[in-house]
């Protein structure tokens, strides 16, 4: 929703200011310029990125429209889930978690926390490392090192979408210039003709420059930044899981383990100590 509001603000500001200066909207409708700029930008995007990144970038627009899911409520649910899993393991032994992590969809624990259960990457990360703990074949140092490697790899992959969008945004002003130069070429071919026709050609060429810059700095560039922010927040969410798991693996009681996780949350979303304690025990 936030990104839609931003798009509306940018569009209203640009179009509104243009109309206040007594501009005519019809002049801005230059289909040939749109085809050159958008088509060339998309073609360059296809050339620059592998198929997996292209697919993820297309799918990312849905996430961008919804906004980041990693808010305070999501973290509260995660810490409550971790607290319940750790408490069960402490009371009944880690083997008691085996049936839950093997089939989270039918687990009476995981189903209590639908937001976390719906996050594929978080669930995969959590269940994979709980499974390694249940197996009992790795020490804390080895497990933490493996987690760091996976987090680094995941973060690099997640950032590719934002990097791809940012690269498109950086290239759009150049494609706007390409469209403008083509418009100037057409204008030069009409020299000596009707001045009104020459003026229309020059106007169309300038629309190309305008469109390339607007799409770059008003829409695509900010979308790339937003995608990068969501990737960063997802990495922080997974890091919170890592901190909780490492704390319980080092022998801390469930309330202390989730407190470690709380400290890994950014101040914007971090619950208070008493607030978290009441939530997880409730």
Beta strand ranges found along 169-255 (DSSP E): none
Residue 10: CB atoms within 10 Å? 15
- Residue 8 falls within a domain, yes or no? no
At 46-64, the pLDDT tens digits run 999 999 999 999 988 888 8
C-alpha radius of gyration, the chain, whole number: 26
Selected residue with higher pLDDT from 167 and 68 = 167
Q: Tokens standing for 31?
A: 């289909």
Residue 66 sits in which domain range? 30-281
- Residue 25 falls within a domain, yes or no? no
pLDDT at 165 exceeding the cut of 90:
yes
C-alpha–C-alpha distance, residues 92 and 70, integer Å: 31
At 13-53, the pLDDT tens digits run 998 998 888 888 888 888 888 999 999 999 999 999 999 99
- Kindly state the percentage of the chain with pLDDT values over 70: 96
pLDDT at 206 exceeding the cut of 70:
yes
- Residue 18 falls within a domain, yes or no? no
pLDDT grade, residue 192 (50/70/90)? low
Residue 27 is predicted with a pLDDT of 83
Q: What angle do CA 54, 59, 62 make, to 5 degrees?
A: 150
pLDDT at 223 exceeding the cut of 90:
yes
In this prediction the pTM is: 0.86
> Do 15 and 25 form a contact (C-beta atoms < 8 A)?
yes
Lowest mean per-residue pLDDT among 63-72, 164-173, 229-238: 63-72
pLDDT at 210 exceeding the cut of 70:
yes
C-alpha–C-alpha distance, residues 80 and 276, integer Å: 8
pLDDT at 190 exceeding the cut of 90:
no
At 88-103, the pLDDT tens digits run 988 888 888 888 888 8
C-alpha–C-alpha distance, residues 174 and 184, integer Å: 15
Domain count, the chain: 1
Q: What's the Cα-to-Cα distance from 66 to each of 4, 18, 96, 138, 256, rounded to whole Å?
A: 9, 30, 37, 39, 33
C-alpha–C-alpha distance, residues 252 and 260, integer Å: 10
């Amino acid at each position: 929703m936030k990104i839609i509001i931003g798009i509306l603000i940018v569009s209203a500001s640009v179009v509104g200011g243009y109309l206040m200066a007594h501009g005519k909207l019809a002049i801005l409708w230059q289909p040939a310029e749109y085809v050159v700029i958008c088509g060339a930008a998309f073609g360059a995007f296809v050339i620059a990125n592998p198929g997996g990144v292209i697919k993820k970038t297309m799918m990312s627009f849905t996430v961008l429209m919804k906004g980041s899911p990693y808010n305070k409520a999501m973290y509260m649910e995660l810490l409550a889930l971790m607290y319940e899993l750790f408490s069960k393991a402490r009371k009944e032994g880690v083997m008691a978690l085996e049936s839950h992590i093997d089939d989270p969809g039918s687990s009476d624990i995981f189903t209590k926390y639908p937001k976390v259960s719906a996050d594929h990457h978080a669930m995969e990360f959590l269940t994979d490392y709980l499974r390694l703990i249940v197996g009992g074949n790795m020490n804390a140092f080895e497990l933490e090192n493996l987690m760091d490697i996976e987090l680094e790899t995941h973060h690099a992959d997640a950032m590719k979408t934002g990097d791809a969008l940012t690269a498109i945004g950086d290239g759009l002003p150049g494609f706007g210039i390409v469209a403008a130069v083509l418009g100037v070429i057409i204008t030069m071919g009409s020299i000596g003709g009707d001045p009104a026709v020459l003026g229309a050609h020059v106007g169309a060429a300038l629309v190309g420059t305008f469109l390339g810059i607007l799409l770059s700095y008003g829409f695509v560039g900010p979308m790339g930044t937003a995608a990068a922010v969501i990737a960063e927040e997802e990495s922080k969410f997974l890091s919170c899981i890592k901190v909780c798991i490492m704390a319980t693996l080092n022998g801390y009681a469930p309330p202390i383990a989730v407190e470690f996780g709380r400290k890994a949350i950014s101040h914007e979303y971090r619950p208070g100590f008493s607030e978290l304690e009441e939530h997880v025990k409730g």
